Structure 1
Amino acid sequence: MRPQLNLKVKNKYAKQYKNGFPLIQKQSLINWNELKEEGTLVKLVDEQNQFLGKGYYGNQNKGYGWVVSSDPQEMMDVAFFKNTLQKAIQKRSALMKSEETNAFRLFNGEGDGIGGFTIDYFDGFLVINWYSHGIYSFNSVILEALEDVMNYRGIYEKKRFLADGKYMDDNDYVTGQQAPSPLIIKENGVNFAVHLNDGAMVGIFLDQREVRKTIRDKYSQGKTVLNTFSYTGAFSVYAALGGAKKTTSVDLAKRSLPKTIEQFQVNNIDDKTQSILVEEVFHYFKYAKRKNLKFDVVIMDPPSFARSKKVTFRAEKDYTSLVSDAIAITEKNGLIVASTNASTFGMDKFKGFIDLAFKQNKQKYKIVEEFSLPSDFATIKQFKEGNYLKVLFIKVVG
């Protein structure tokens, strides 16, 4: 029998839980020190013992677990997960039928009703990301529910529940068929090679699907494109397919070179006609400025936090200077695509970083496109931090 515990919420936080706030946070609890075993079912009540919500204890970097139901009797059994998963799958019915795209987010944690895990879909294979021991304690129940609600080819998992949120390295295969490596998936008609059993990163960030399509369809023809923090070169592949004159991909990770070559090759693009550099992005900006290199399109999608031997980057602190670096090497009337996945600030603050950079450089600009998460990355208005992606297409006005 799964243990259960009443958690008393301080009165000043009670209203937000009553209104649907899903994250269980230490500062909101009176008796948080009674939490012992992850996976414990918890019933949130206010100081007058009025019921607020039912959830589970799972310690992750965001908080102490998630509220998942307004039913005080909810047991988080197979029927509960089956019902919640069915609703999520139904929301993705158009993507499930798409002939152009067969890789997307199938279940997005709290945005689909249960925080702490996500499921990505790759041409019939599922990759489950677990973010705490607490939610992982339900894994057999969730797998049983998945078996009931959909046909899949195979399931892989990523355990990300170390104390600092890093990936727990392990064999990722769970059940069903084993995927080929690479597995070639499609996104907007573009091929990508993904490796489902090769660590935390499979080869593509699915949340940028609409941004990539826009770059290909509207901003690449005849352009020189610089893709910084390029990972496996997805933006570069889209730009090349959109008719870019040349792409330059820059990333510090050594594996970015073979990974980017692979993505070009599965799309029948000669990688030797493109430039792929293993280099610190900040050093490359200095080099490009010194050599007076200019690009028509500069793409920046840095991690929210990154550290190398000589440079530490924090999006909230350093994004303005990053934009300044980009301005210096962008052609007049060129385009800067500025992106961040930092959840600690919203779009308005992000726009403030952009505005400050242009003012410091005495340069005019115009925001021509704006993106947040695509619809398969479902979010709820009660938890704004869940809508983490912010992307701006900025014209450098000549």
Structure 2
Amino acid sequence: MTKAVRVQVKADFVKEFKAGYPLINKDAIKNSDVLKIEGTIIDLYDENNRFLAKGYYGKQNKGRGWVLTRNQQEVIDQAFFEAKIKKALDNRKSLFEDAETTAFRVFNGEGDGIGGLTIDYYDGYFVMSWYSEGIYQFKEHVIQSLTNLIDVKGLYEKKRFDAKGTYIEDDDFVAGERANFPLIVKENGIHFAIYLNDGAMVGVFLDQRDVRKTIRDKYAAGKHVLNTFSYTGAFSVAAALGGAAKTTSVDLANRSKSKTIEQFSVNGLDYESQDIIVEDVFNYFKYAVRKKLVFDMVILDPPSFARSKKHTFSAGKDYPDLLKQAITITKENGIIVASSNCSTFGMNKFKGFIEKAFQSTGDKYKLLEEFSLPQDFKTIKEFKEGDYLKVVFIKKLT
């Protein structure tokens, strides 16, 4: 790359960079006019011309890049990327050796030292996700690093950036051999049908691996389970494999039905004995109340933000009301699995939402166990937003 561009950090932001904060916020930069080409290496200095950190320029939401090193002499080149990726691969050694799990994250952005990039593994195939035009400029370094370090059957990519910050539709295949779809992967022995060439989502959210295993192994047996915002029904499949009496999967997306049927089928489960419903979850709650339906377990894993014809949902504002509706249709001594991937609040505030919802209904509850991101979704304590997942198993008491 060309010579680094010198960027001055405003006094109010110097302390956080010194403390190890990795995201370069657009409000932190005093001379933003020097930032012209995404992918440019930038050196951050305080107002007294003291070096703070070295990173790259790339627009990602309110960010304008990520810190890569605090060593002024370190060169951001092929060797830099290869060292980071090698360390990340070494940290996932136990997962690579686990015959029952063939899908997991091998590189998790700033948690592994390079913000704006994630790499996922699907039974020999790798998927690189790029979150800015800036990090995308280092694509060849990343590909070279991967192919130098590990056997890559095939390589795919997701460009999760454009002017509106959304996914860029493209042929996602990059190199190697193309996979045959569906690609069947395993997670703790559960099978999932994966499509690496079908838009931003591939068929399962890898960050919920520990939660699915817990549902299957500890809570599902004999239960009637409602899975809301069910996507491809992964939680429902886990529950069914754990001996659930019946699962009900509800999602607004039309394709969720065929995708859920497929996930049941690749696990040898009779999808016709399950309920798979295409409906607005909020409407389904009203229907359930009207029909006096109650469930032994209700799984709530909404997107951070969702909009339907009649409803708009924002996790930071509306989660307590959503949970309140779930409490209403949960049996006494039943379980609610409350989950959120919203990065704007942490576990303590999430537990406050739970308290608020139960106060509103007048029911008592007990927190049974909680989960955050699994080990392969590596995070750093200096960037709390990166540890976004919050899942709590709640028992509704009599």
TM-score range, shorter chain: over 0.9
CA contact (8 A) 1:60 1:163 kept: no
CA contact 2:8–2:44 (8 Å) conserved in 1: yes
The answer on whether the counterparts of 2:379 and 2:387 sit within 8 Å (CA) in structure 1 is yes
Secondary structure in structure 2 of the residue aligned to 1:105? strand
Report the CA distance between 1:62 and its aligned residue: 4.1
Identify the residue that residue 117 of structure 1 maps to in structure 2.
Answer: 117
Q: What letter matches 2:200 in structure 1?
A: A
- 1:356 maps to a residue whose letter is K
Aligned residue identity for 2:353: F
Partner of 1:26: 26
Query: Is residue 54 of structure 1 aligned with residue 30 of structure 2?
Result: no
| TM-score, normalised relative to structure 1 | 0.99
> Which residue in the other structure is 1:354 paired with?
354
Q: Which residue of the partner structure matches residue 242 of structure 1? A: 242
CA–CA separation in structure 2 for the residues paired with 1:85 and 1:225: 40
1:3 Cα deviation after fit:
4.9
Match of 1:77 in 2: 77
Is 1:66 the counterpart of 2:66? The answer is: yes
Aligned pair 1:155/2:155, yes or no? Answer: yes
Q: Deviations over 1:48-71 (max 9, x none)?
A: 111111000000114000001112
Alpha carbons 2:88, 2:107 under 8 Å: kept: yes
Note if 1:90 corresponds to 2:94. Answer: no
Q: Which runs of 4+ in 1 moved over 3 A?
A: none
Q: What residue number does 1:215 align with?
A: 215
Residue aligning to 1:308: 308
Alignment match, 1:101: 101
User: Residue 13 of structure 2 corresponds to which residue in structure 1?
Assistant: 13
CA contact (8 A) 1:5 1:41 kept: yes
Equivalent residue of 1:24, what SS?
A: strand
Alpha-carbon distance, 1:34 to partner: 1.8
Give the Cα–Cα distance (whole angstroms) in 2 for the partners of residues 165 and 375 of structure 1: 28
- CA distance in structure 2 between the aligned counterparts of 1:163 and 1:20, rounded to whole angstroms: 29
The corresponding residue for 1:323 is: 323
Give the AA of the match of 1:156.
Y
Partner residue, 1:134: 134
Find the aligned partners of 1:245 and 1:342 in 2 and give their Cα distance. 31
**8 Å contact from structure 2 (residues 26, 62) kept in 1:** no
| 8 Å contact kept, 2:224–2:245 | yes
Is 2:366 the counterpart of 1:369? Answer: no
Kept in 2, the 8 Å contact 1:61–1:163? The answer is no
Measure the CA separation in 2 of the matches of 1:141 and 1:88: 15
- Three-state SS of the structure 1 residue aligned to 2:24 is coil
Q: What CA distance in whole angstroms lies between the structure 2 residues aligned with 1:54 and 1:128?
A: 23
Q: Which residues in structure 2 correspond to 1:157-172 (within 5 Å)?
A: 157-172=157-172
What fraction of aligned residue pairs are identical, expressed as a percent?
61
Q: Distance in 2 between matches of 1:246 and 1:368?
A: 23
Paired residues of 1:61 and 1:164 also in contact (CA < 8 A): no
User: CA shift at 1:364, angstroms?
Assistant: 0.3
Residue 15 of structure 1: how far off its partner (Å): 1.8
Alignment gaps of 5+ in structure 2: none
Give the Cα–Cα distance (whole angstroms) in 1 for the partners of residues 187 and 109 of structure 2: 22
Aligned CA RMSD, in angstroms, stands at 0.8
Alignment of 1:207-286 (within 5 A): 207-286=207-286
Task: State the partner residue of 1:196.
Answer: 196
Distance in 1, matches of 2:3 and 2:164, equals 26
SS of structure 1 residue aligned to 2:342: coil
Instruction: Give, as a single letter, the amino acid of the residue that structure 1 aligns with 2:80.
Output: F
C-alpha displacement of 1:341: 0.3
Q: Secondary structure at the match of 2:85?
A: helix
Alignment match, 2:378: 378
CA distance in 1, matches of 2:37, 2:211: 41
* TM-fit CA distance, 1:152: 1.3
1:62/1:110 CA distance change after superposition, 3 Å: farther
**Matched residue type, 1:237:** V
CA contact (8 A) 2:117 2:129 kept: yes
Paired residues, what number?
398
Q: Distance in 2 between matches of 1:205 and 1:164?
A: 23
1:292-328 per-position Cα deviation (integer Å, ceiling 9, x unaligned) = 0000000010000000111000001100000010011
Cα displacement (A) at 1:270 = 0.6
Alpha-carbon distance, 1:162 to partner: 1.3
1:367 maps to amino acid: L
In structure 2, distance between residues paired with 1:33 and 1:26? 11
Shift of 1:26: 1.5
Q: State the shift of 1:235 in Å.
A: 0.2
Query: 1:81 and 1:235 mapped to 2: Cα distance?
Result: 35
- C-alpha distance in 2 between matches for 1:365 and 1:164: 42
What whole-Å deviation, never above 9, does each CA across 1:194-242 have from its counterpart, x for those lacking one?
Answer: 0011111100000000000000001000000000000000000000000
Corresponding residue SS for 1:126? strand
Identify unmatched segments of 5+ residues in structure 1. Answer: none
